[in-house]
Amino acid sequence: MNAAPSILTPAKIGPVEIRNRIVTSSMCLYFSGKNGEVTDKMTAFFVNRAKGGMGAFIIPANPHGENKRARGSLADDSRIAQWKPLLDAVHGAGAKVFCQIHPSSTQFGRKEFKSETSPFELTSTELQSLIESYAIGALRAKKAGFDGVEIHGAHGHEVALLLSELLNTRTDLYGGTLENCARSVTEMVIRMKELCGADFPVILRVSGEERIPGGRKLPESLKICQLVQKAGADAIHVSSGMPQSEEWECPPSEVEQGHLAWMGKALKEKLKIPVIVVGRVVNWEVGERMVDHGEADFIAVARASLAEARWADSISHLAKGEFYPVRKCIGCNQGCRTRREQNKSMAACLQNPVLGQEELLHITEDLKGKNVRVAVIGGGVAGLEAANVLSKRGARVTVFERENRLGGTFYWASKAPGKASYTNVIEYYEKLLPSQGVTIVLNRALDAVPEGDLVVLATGGDPIVPPIPIDESVKVWNALDFIKRNVFDAGRYVIVGDGIVGYEVADAVAERGKEAVVVGNDPRDPVATLGVARWHFMEKRFAESGVTLVRRSTVKSIDAKGLTVRDEEGVETRVEGKGPFECVLACGYKPASPEFIEKFQRNGVRTLLVGNAEKSGDAMDAIHGAFDKTISLAFGARG
């Protein structure tokens, strides 16, 4: 009989035993009320993941100051009782819960940061009051029913500022030397133990490396951890980065899984208390290796738990080779980071439309036994999600795909540098849909109405071709055909369009050692479309390979020598290079033409448009739109 995977074995933080080595680390989900209320949305999220096998959760709460939606509040005694329903439900599902003492206040590196509100401006007496406030927050957490607390000393927040020799400008006992910078935390730990009892666990989360110029490295962080251990801390939770190095706080798909394992190993070799390690653990085997190799006592899983509530539960099945489809985080940061920050909205997930709506949305088998027949035309992500929802509801679904594989444009988008993990989305549908009775028909292009009760048109949109005069001697490709062809035989490429696709084409061109020029008039900075973390790595590659960006400009004409561009001021200039070049149009997509749609609207068969066939958007728009349309779609009574 095979032993259980190491990651599923019990372990302790202080006296608290956790059923496995998997911890969901703190995230700003914006699921709480605007004034820090604990909501049904929060409860549903954590309970579903407790039922899905997670060992413990670290949930942020504000111990003082202004309450905001990013986290629930423990700012005064009146807030204690609101946590009971959530904690009782999570405990009832077998998981432990730690409270991250995390004020809604200053964070270095954000545009809202003001030095006058930083902890550096407090007098020694005021700072001691701040330390007391953290300790009282821990006491409230204990009274609320939390199993322990975590001090958030990472990522530029209040405590992280005090811990940083680089940033801490204090000249009293709480600044200057490394020991003094750590004093506020050691005093917090001591005071928390005094108020809550020696058996109430206290964890420190720390950036093992700040990864900003002149910032702290791991040897100095180890010294901090040793001081905190001596003060009575029960575990260390190691992370990396600051807001100025967000690519390490929330690393994109370019960064390898388990990339902080080396930090965990170095800390474990010198510390006696458990070490929790975060760092893009998506495949359970990575976490298993980290535990087995002495690189972590506990694995922190964050974004992977957004994509898949049953992540922990899947391990025992997958370890035995059993069938268990799992959504795997692809590190896109699109819904959980980029859109959340830009729109100040709740966290979302590109491939999990239910996230943030788990208390409201439940797919029921209302079509079971009713012989509802559905034809989905197009096997891209919108069509696959439509097939997923409708088959779960009980419809008989057939997916027709004209190519020899599923995924549509999303499959080809995964060919861009750093995006290999994006195929995880397609692989999930490939495993899941047949298990739900969906028939997949490949290499079958339809242009007529198939038999059935509903046709879901998920054929994608048509490439936008701008009216640019182009000399016939210049070879022109649309972006999708160019990536499919996978031949880079020209010395130079001009990419028209500076959206995500344009940048990814340029990235692919540069990876092959070719010259790339990107011209576009998107008014947004690249970071707005690609996200902070992803753009950091792409911008670095562009600089190293010499990619030229001509932004806020439109192409007026292209000839054999180069192109004429006009900037937003109306000034025209020439962009020329050495030798011949090819042109790639990456200008986005427009919805399917009315004439094409009409083919499927004859004979009274109901037609539903999803994805780019209906409205131009990205993969997240496609999946979420298909989900929203199909979960609420009503079907008439059948005889």
| 112 or 59, which is more confident | 59
The pLDDT value recorded for residue 105 is 63
510: Cβ contacts below 8 Å, ≥ 6 apart: 516, 541, 542, 545, 546, 547
Strands 462-463 and 589-590, by their bridges, are antiparallel
Contact between residue 283 and residue 328 where contact means Cβ atoms under 8 Å apart:
yes
The pLDDT value recorded for residue 106 is 58
Residue 109 has pLDDT above 90, yes or no: no
Average pLDDT over every residue of 96-120? 70
Beta bridge partners of 54: none
Phi/psi at 361 (5° precision): -105, 130
Phi/psi at 463 (5° precision): -60, 140
Residue 331 has pLDDT above 90, yes or no: yes
Phi/psi at 346 (5° precision): -65, 155
- 550-578: b or e for each residue (b if 16 or more CB lie within 10 Å)? bbebbbeebeeebbbbeeeeeeeeebeee
Phi/psi at 422 (5° precision): -65, -20
Residue 70 has pLDDT above 90, yes or no: no
Cβ neighbourhood burial of 520 (10 Å; 0-12, 13-18, 19+): buried
The pLDDT value recorded for residue 608 is 95
CA-nearest of 399, 604, 156 to 164 is 156
As a residue count, the chain comes to: 639
pLDDT, tens digit, 9 for 90 and up, residues 12-22: 999 999 999 99
- Mean predicted lDDT score pLDDT of the chain: 94
Residue 223 has pLDDT above 70, yes or no: yes
282: Cβ contacts below 8 Å, ≥ 6 apart: 257, 304, 328, 329, 331, 421, 424
% the chain with pLDDT above 70: 97
pLDDT, tens digit, 9 for 90 and up, residues 548-575: 999 999 999 999 999 999 999 999 999 9
Average pLDDT over every residue of 52-74? 90
Strands 572-576 and 582-585, by their bridges, are unpaired
d(CA 623, CA 606): 21
CA 287 to chain centre: 18
Alpha helices of 166-238 — where are they, by DSSP H?
A: 178-196, 218-231
d(CA 393, CA 395): 6
Strand order in the sheet with 548-550: 475-478, 582-585, 492-496, 515-519, 548-550
CA-nearest of 87, 95, 103 to 151 is 103
Q: What is the pTM of this model?
A: 0.95
Confidence category of residue 1, pLDDT binned at 50, 70, 90: very low
| 604 or 201, which is more confident | 201
Alpha helices of 334-445 — where are they, by DSSP H?
A: 339-343, 381-393, 408-413, 423-435
Alpha helices of 394-477 — where are they, by DSSP H?
A: 408-413, 423-435
At which residue do the structure tokens 């490949």 appear?
442
Strands 572-576 and 492-496, by their bridges, are unpaired
The pLDDT value recorded for residue 15 is 98
CA atoms within 13 A on the CB side of 323: 7
Contact between residue 458 and residue 610 where contact means Cβ atoms under 8 Å apart:
yes
The pLDDT value recorded for residue 623 is 98
Average pLDDT over every residue of 478-486? 96
Identity of the residue numbered 93: A
CA-nearest of 415, 428, 383, 418 to 402 is 383
CA-nearest of 252, 301, 563 to 416 is 252
d(CA 517, CA 535): 17
pLDDT, tens digit, 9 for 90 and up, residues 58-68: 999 999 877 77
CA triple 48-54-56, angle to 5 deg: 110
CA-nearest of 385, 306, 310 to 348 is 306
Average pLDDT over every residue of 490-507? 96
Could you count the other beta carbons within 10 Å of the beta carbon of residue 485?
10
Structure tokens at 474: 């210049």
Confidence category of residue 116, pLDDT binned at 50, 70, 90: low
Rg (CA), the chain: 27
Average pLDDT over every residue of 47-69? 92
The pLDDT value recorded for residue 604 is 73
Strands 16-18 and 11-13, by their bridges, are antiparallel
* Domains assigned to the chain: 6-343 (3.20.20.70), 373-461+591-631 (3.40.50.720), 475-590 (3.50.50.60)
pLDDT, tens digit, 9 for 90 and up, residues 241-288: 998 898 999 999 999 999 999 999 999 999 999 999 999 999 999 999
Structure tokens at 472: 């016939």
Average pLDDT over every residue of 599-613? 86
d(CA 328, CA 264): 23
Structure tokens at 97: 């819960």
Residue 639 has pLDDT above 60, yes or no: no
Structure tokens at 240: 């990396």
pLDDT, tens digit, 9 for 90 and up, residues 94-105: 999 999 998 876
d(CA 401, CA 399): 6
Residue 457 has pLDDT above 90, yes or no: yes
